[in-house]
Amino acid sequence: MAAEETEAATEEVEAAAAVVEAVAAVAVVGVVVAAAHLRNLNISNNSINGSIPSSLFNAYELQILDLSNNLISGTLPELVRKLKKLQVLNLSDNAIVTNMPKNLTTLQILRVISLRNNYFFGSLPSGFNSIHILDLSSNLINGSLPPDFGVNNLSYFNVSTEKNKKISQLESYQRITGFMGASLT
């Protein structure tokens, strides 16, 4: 009988732990999403899955958004344009599948974009005038650099790896520094 009681108690503890874990996860997401004055959100290096909730883009004061190294899928919502104070966007090492977002170029104080190792596809948009660091490596980007790509402030630009198709016209952008993959020439 003691073994049965121990087994039942163990099952109850495990069930309670699962409930506590689920409530904590919901509470964290709720706090993050409800925090309108949040300035820095770094929940990188976890096992967060699913898509980016649209309510996250109600954090109008957000300056740094780091969701890197998770299991996030889906698309990057157009609502990212609402984050007018965003300076750093790091969505690298996830499973986001979407067209290369053109609305990122409308964020005037955005300085760092890392979308590395996802499934962004299509051509590069123009107008990256405020960007200093742009890492688009290990995606499915193709096409040519647009003439008004915006390299005035760019100090690091990476579109390397085998996922990316050849980007031509690179030689006309001599101010770009940092690693440039051999497949780009």
- For 11-55, how does the pLDDT look when each residue is reduced to its tens digit (9 = 90+)? 654 544 443 344 444 444 444 445 678 999 999 999 999 999 988
> What pTM, to 2 d.p., does this model score?
0.71
Residue 107 has pLDDT above 90, yes or no: yes
User: Which pLDDT score is estimated for 178?
Assistant: 39
Q: Give domain limits for the chain.
A: 1-34, 36-184
Of 3 and 78, the one with more pLDDT: 78
Distances (CA, A) of 163 to 11, 51, 90, 157, 177: 46, 22, 19, 16, 21
Q: How far apart are the C-alpha atoms of 113 and 129, rounded to whole Å? A: 12
User: Which pLDDT score is estimated for 30?
Assistant: 47
3-state SS track over 23-77? HHHHHHHHHHHHCCCCCEEECCCCCCEECCCHHHHHCCCCCEEECCCCEEEECCC
Render pLDDT for 82-98 as a digit per residue (tens, 0 to 9). 999 999 999 999 999 99
Q: Which CATH superfamily is domain 36-184 in?
A: Ribonuclease Inhibitor (3.80.10.10)
